[in-house]
Each structure stands twice: as structure tokens, then as C-alpha cells.
Amino acid sequence: MAGETVLVVGGAGYIGSHTCLDLANKGFQPVVYDNFSNGHREFVKWGPAEEGDIRDRARLDEVLAKYKPAAILHFAALIEVGESVKDPVSFYENNVIGTLTLLSAAQAAGVNAFVFSSTCATYGLPQSVPLDESHRQVPINPYGRTKYIVEQALADYDQYKGLRSVVLRYFNAAGADFEGRIGEWHTPETHAIPLAIDAALGRRQGFKVFGSDYDTRDGTCVRDYIHVLDLADAHVRAVEYLLRGGDSVALNLGTGTGTTVKELLGTIETVSNRPFPVEYVGRREGDSTTLVANNDKARDILGWSPQYDLTEIIQSAWNWHAKSNQH
């Protein structure tokens, strides 16, 4: 498989760029396809970039004909849950219509190995924890619904059109390349770790915790933080699995370890050695008490297991934000 070209759609974004790094390290040729609305040209370091939108069929056809990729990795989605509630139309246009356009282009080009960046948000409110892949899927916001619709479409494309896919349901992506070449850079930033690190760096007033009365060990929500390089490794393994002829499958990507918000903030304070103000406010609508992955299936099918713990996640994120990400 070494030397195979992989089209990384949304490859200039956070998880996409780290996956390009891992693809290159493992002998693949990543080609980035991105409209740069949220991605960063500075993050395209391991292969060529082609500018284009996933809703632009003619441009997709052109790029697929030029590079003839063996597989497609699809990261190009709008992801901000709050924004999906305010502007669901954009989420359906990009995440659903855009993905269906990409799938049609892939089929026409004869590409039938497709890795889809999905989310644990497709499960909705957990009925049991840890969540495994058989948990019911009842998303509670437009973001989660758009991802779920694509998952359903991929099942039909597999059954009726022979397009094989690996659906990867992320839990909480975090951390950065340990060399500080790329990292988490969203505008606006809504994720807990970069917001708390910015507070420790004095770039914002402090950090707000939404809810301190949950039924957890310290009253704050529990989340499963997974290093972005562990996510990248799983994506490359998924490509290899499909290129070996593997069947379509949906897999959770998490560590299986839950961390409370208080524990997360404590780790950031320890790693940075910089205390910062924390304000406890009321619960936020739609927040689940606990989201933790059962990742057994990914271990069994891809031979994948996460390598990095919470301290390493925070150390790599701190390094990136403190030294590199001045934007």
C-alpha cells in the first residue's frame, strides 16, 4: 500500500492535517482538498493542496481525475453544535448535500474506499455508559443529525452500490503534534482544552464550567478525551483495512477513560503551572452527564489502541498554544 494516494477532504483542518502527517509517515501520499473556510493553508505540509468545495461536483471530478486516489478520507464538515442550532440550513447544505456530492464523484471515479469522520453526537443522550456501537442513535441537534443521515446513506451505498466505508465516531479530540508544527486552531474556539489553556496564558478572563451538580464524582460533566494523533492513527488504519478488502463498519474512537471537567482543569493547571480563574455557572442545554467510549470494536477490527494519556494530551496542546498558535 505504500505510495498509494489518499484524498484528504478537509485536510487543512485540525484532525485532517494531523492525519496527513500520519499518512505521510506511513508511506502514503496525502492530497488535501479544502475550501479553506475553516482549514489553514499553513497546515498543508505533507502533500499538494487543491482548493475546492465538496458541493462543487465539477471541481471534485477534476481533482479525482488528476490524482486517482485509492481512498478518500472525509473531514470537511461544519462541527459547532451551537451554530447548528442557529443555522441548521448551512449544516444540511455542507454536511449532507456536500457529502452526497462527494460520494457521487467518488463513485464516478471508481473510488470505493471511504473513511468518514463522524461523531458520538449521533448517539444523543446516553442510555448506558460506556457507549458501544450498538447504542441507539437519536441525535439531539442538527449537527448530530447531519452526521447520522450520512451514516445511513453510507450503509445504503455499501449495500446497493458496493462503496465500502469505515465510519469513525469520535469522542473528544484534543492535543497536538508533539513537535508543534500543527495543532488545534478554530475560529471561534469552543473546545474546553484550548479555552482553558488560553485562560492560563492570560489571553482570556477565565474559564466557565457549565454545571457543577451532575451525578458524577465531583459534580461536573465527564468526557472521553482522545489525542488527535491517536485519531489520525485510527484513520490511517481504516484506510489500510479498506484497501485490504475490509467490509463496511462503524467504530468508536475514544480512550474508554472518563475525565471530569474539574480533573481536566486540574491537569491543565499542573502542566502549565499557571493557576487561572474558574467560574461555575448553570448547566448548558443539551450537555450529557457522561460520554465515554467503549472502543473494543476498533481494537478488534483495526488493531488500534490509543497511545497517549490526558497529561500527554495537555502537554502537547500547551506546547502548541503557548509557542505556536498566536493567532
Count other C-beta atoms under 10 Å from residue 162's C-beta: 9
DSSP letter string, 86-136:
H-HHHHIIIIIIIHHHHHHHHHHTT--EEEEEEEGGGS-S-SSSSB-TTS-
The tens digit of pLDDT for each residue in 147-205 reads: 999 999 999 999 999 999 999 999 999 999 999 999 998 888 889 999 999 999 999 99
**Out of 33, 123, 143, 170, which one is annotated catalytic?**
143
How much is the pTM? 0.96
Provide the 8-state DSSP code for 276: -
Residue in the block written with cell 443522550:
125
173, β-bridge pairs:
226
Strand, helix or coil at 45?
A: coil
Secondary structure class of 280 (helix, strand, coil): strand
At residue 284, the pLDDT reads 84
- Phi/psi of residue 118, nearest 5 degrees: -110, -155
CA angle 92, 95, 96 (to 5 degrees): 65
Clarify whether 143 is annotated catalytic: yes
Count the neighbouring beta carbons within 10 Å of the beta carbon of residue 286: 14
> SS3 of 60, please?
helix
- Residues 98-148: tens digit of each pLDDT: 999 999 999 999 999 999 999 999 999 999 999 999 999 999 899 999 999
- Domains in the chain with CATH codes: 5-174+226-253 (3.40.50.720)
Q: How far is CA 33 from CA 61, 62, 101, 168, 235, in A?
A: 12, 11, 14, 20, 17
Residues with Cβ within 8 Å of 237's Cβ and at least 6 positions away in sequence, in order, are: 302, 303, 304
